[in-house]
Structure 1
Amino acid sequence: MIGIGIDISKNKSTVSAINDTGEIIMKPQEFKHSENELNKLIQWIKDQEDTVFVVMESTGHYHYPVLKKLYEEGVYVSVVNAYLMKKYGDIEIRKAKTDKKDAIRIAKYAIEKRFSLKKYEGEDEKYNDLKFLSRQYNQIVSIRVKAKIQFNNLLDEIMPGINKILTRTTGNSSKILYDFVEKYEHFDNIKRKGEQKFIKEYSAWSKKKGYRNGAVKALKIYELAQNSITTRSANNSTYIALKNCIKILRETEESSNSILTQMQTIAYTLPEYKIVRELKGVGDKLAPRLIAEIGDVRKFTSAKALNAYAGNDAPPHQSGQFEGTKRHISKRGSSSLRKVGYEIMMALKVTKPTEDNAVYEFMIKKESEGKAKNVAKMAALNKFLRIYYTRVMNLYKTL
């Protein structure tokens, strides 16, 4: 029995091997993430006459090249949560941290935990693509949120209150605001035109753009400009910052919509999409994101395991006569999945399903018991994920 520990780094890994007697049969050595280097490692593994268990930590995307190569060559490989490995290393009194020591530690883990290791079986390419796109979507939305904050702060200095007038309409309200700010740039520019000239000019511009109530809004905007106090001058520095903000907002909105469309296209081809889409609170935008964060539900042994993966579980805490009852969720799981789940709970609160809905009713019940609204939402999310698991697993059992 041989346990191989691989400590993953960027572009290279440190590898060590130990047999079941504790003897180090491969001293820690580095292998670059290249075809030639990894082929040498694979050949060494295949030359062993004993059973080999390869263990590596889940380290973002850095471990993918090694994992892919070993999996394609039919090597037994298990990917272990980095937190589990950290807790395993905490048993040592003298805690040292080097790549060589980590590789030996992982190899020891492979030997000691060989009966409970889970072999990596791969995952449908569609789920991998969805997860990849979901990460890209989250990053772009994060950039968009920061740009939106900067844009609003800038408007407070040059056009305070303008968004209250131009964003009351639904649909393309952001586009109206961006177009207007790009054209007029500052309240001082509006005031210099005079009331009649501005109203006439804005009415013609809004008609050309296809926006409604041009004359009425023009009067409101002019009155707002006259009564507002601007704190930043109308100069090139202001205009450059303003145009850059709008450019980022437009591009991130287009990019996020494009990614979401691709996610919807992929998710639509999965068997569970129709069932997921039928769940209350899950719309066209949330369905592909939810499937992307959960992945193939068959990899979970139970609904409880799915909640644990989301970090939405409350592990029991008991000692002697004491048993904890007021427990918080662990948050040791996918924060992205919890975020999507929270958005689904928010959608339920807004839509308020009229027909019987176990999740919504459970959330309202918890709120009526005095639970904080966020606590009630996460409790309802726990129930939602259990329903999700049951329905999707039942689907796959019938296929």
Structure 2
Amino acid sequence: MQILTPVGIDVASQKFDVAVWKGKAAYKSKAFSNTPKGFDALKKWLEPFGDCHICMEATGAYSEPLSTFLADAGYAVSVENPARIKSFGCSELSRNKTDKGDARMIARYCKLHVPVLWQPLPLNERKLKALVNRLINLKNIGNNPSLKQNRELLESIPGIAGALSSTILGYFGDMSRFDSSKAVVAWAGLNPMLQESGLWKGKSRISKVGNAMIRKALYMPALTAMRYNPAIIALKERMNARNKSGKVVVCAAMKKLLQQAYGVLKSGQVFDAGICLAR
């Protein structure tokens, strides 16, 4: 049976303390920042100790990134119920509670109890979980004053409601990184592109070289905007007068809606139909 070096980790929000138990009262200890850079430093620091069995308490958002990193790196990892670790500490009559001391105690627990190994979620489930967490954060956007203000600016535009405002904020982030509304439109793949060959040679169509999720999210709000957004109603009427097809009109409405979103976020001013109609 392979003998693994017991390692205890006490994880906090900003840092984590590590203790390698070398037997009796001999330990090797070090603290690292609870960041990806700290994870890499830990991996390098553990190399001289060979194969390790790493144990830590389950502390949710604080411990999960580290435990996942270590498991992905090939280490044997156990993530234990904090109540079990606390009970073990009480059984040892531990009195002095420090982060360094807790890491050593967890290393002893790892050696003596050999807890079962923990496995991270499969990659596809991790991606799904990240998306769900992102969605929850966007729905709770009121917790962030800056995001709340930007959401209110976006939703001042007729046609933009919660789902689209969240999508725009989630995908575009800081609009100041775009030099113009044209750049935003191009990023979404709504800019026109002249067909150089094939059935549609000589005609313009949207490029679709951009973010498909944004285009999909804009479709239904654009239909709503064609009924309630004065500037987009005017655009629709002009295009209908030129006998443009329904699909072309909807794409133009999507483009216009995105330009309006860029305008309110860039200016910090709520939607003003008068300004839009004057342009």
Shorter-normalised TM range: 0.3 to 0.5
Question: Relative to total residues, which structure has the larger strand share, 1 or 2?
Answer: 2
Question: Relative to total residues, which structure has the larger helix share, 1 or 2?
Answer: 1
**TM-score after normalising by structure 1:** 0.32
**TM-score after normalising by structure 2:** 0.44
- With CA pairs under 8 Å and 6+ residues apart, which has the higher RCO, 1 or 2? 2
